Amino acid sequence: MSAFTLGKTDGDARAGTLHTPHGDVPTPAFMPVATQGSVKALDPDDLKKVGARIVLSNTYHMYLRPGVEIVRSLGGLHGFMQWDGPMLTDSGGFQGFSLAHLRKITEDAIIFKSHIDGSTHYFSPAAATQHQEGLGADIIMPLDICVPADSDRATADAAVEKTNRWVMLCREAHTRQDQHLFGIVQGGLFPDLRKKSADFLTSLGFPGYAVGGLSVGESKHDMYEAVGFTTPLLPKDSPRYLMGVGSPEDLVECVARGIDMFDCVLPTRIARNGALFVKSGRVNIDNARFRSMDAPVEEGCDCYTCRTFSAAYVHHLFRTKELLAFRLATIHNLRFILRLMEEMREAILQGTFAEYHNAFNERFTAPDEATRREQKRKWLDALAKSKSTSG
């Protein structure tokens, strides 16, 4: 089965269709993240109602709990989660970056010390592939090496070399014909290394290609430059997946640079902290101005939260720490992101993406660069701390 059909382009922006055994996905597409088999606070019906067509789950975490064999015996991730749509699993490579204090990278594998009980786990390229075959996602990723944004050229080059060696081992271990194995382009912020990685991967003929190693601390300008340089190196008739990117402004800018697929925890994570997307940017629902607001969080929003409840009620839920707050905020943010993808696709099909792009930039104000990078650093630090102290 071909993984992708390119329908129409408008500049470098693309509208296409991703093909999987569990159904087709119109692109551009955003994948909500079900790290441990669940998009936090939502069930599969909620996901369908907000417009999700494909979700992502995390191989490393599902391997640790409940275990690949349990998931396999219960129908794979689709049966286990009761999600009947397309799914993608990552390989554990990002955990090799984010859990640096709990892992050792050797020539042959990433060796993790479990954040749950301290036990040791050996993720080789073959093992990461076999785990994903057991989990049964429609699209799987090879084990790769992701390096920090400030890595020097020698470090980034070594990561490309190892990623290239490991992807060959992943291909050899991959046996399921009903799964698409994508390649992952690495290379940090060095154009020649990105080209080296892309040239090697495209010579092997993968059904799709991911751009990895971005949104790891670099500036937005540097990320956009790297994406803009990398996408023309990839086949036009294959899907292009930018890993770990999900803020609205980044989605629009990277669709403009030829990306088809995205995933990120950002929309759901900030929702649980009371930060909600609106057309003009982000608002904090905990702010006093929402205390008596007898109107939805955003007029005209078609999500369940805005169609049903006042901003005052959502404000109250957060102030009183009611669990419903997490669900309503997450529904709103995911619907905002997925509607954004739908609007961009329609603009591409209509040949009006440039106008859409400009209008978005005129109305949407993103957090300033210093604030964004500090938030990212705090999130990565908190992630590492939570993994080292949980259990």
Active site positions, annotated = 90, 263
CA 359 to chain centre: 25
For 54-87, b/e burial (b = at least 16 CB within 10 A) is bbbbbbbbbbbeeebeebbeeebbbebbebebbb
Amino acid at 257: R
Classify residue 245 by its DSSP letter.
Answer: -
Can you list the positions of beta strands (E) in 197-302? 209-211, 240-242, 261-263, 275-278, 281-284
In 3D, which of 183, 224, 227, 189 has the Cα closest to residue 204?
Answer: 183
Tokens of 344: 């961009």
Tell me the C-alpha distance between 371 and 247, whole Å.
14
In 3D, which of 141, 136, 3, 19 has the Cα closest to residue 78?
Answer: 136
CB atoms within 10 A of CB 51: 17
Q: Is the C-alpha dihedral spanning 106, 69, 113, 103 positive or negative?
A: positive
Amino acid at 366: A
Amino acid at 213: G
Classify residue 18 by its DSSP letter.
Answer: E
In the three-class reduction of DSSP (H, G, I as helix; E, B as strand; rest coil), residue 353 is classed as helix
Tell me the C-alpha distance between 35 and 57, whole Å.
5
Strand-pair partners of 312: none
- Give the CB-side neighbour count of residue 115, counting CA atoms within 13 A: 20
Tell me the C-alpha distance between 24 and 52, whole Å.
12
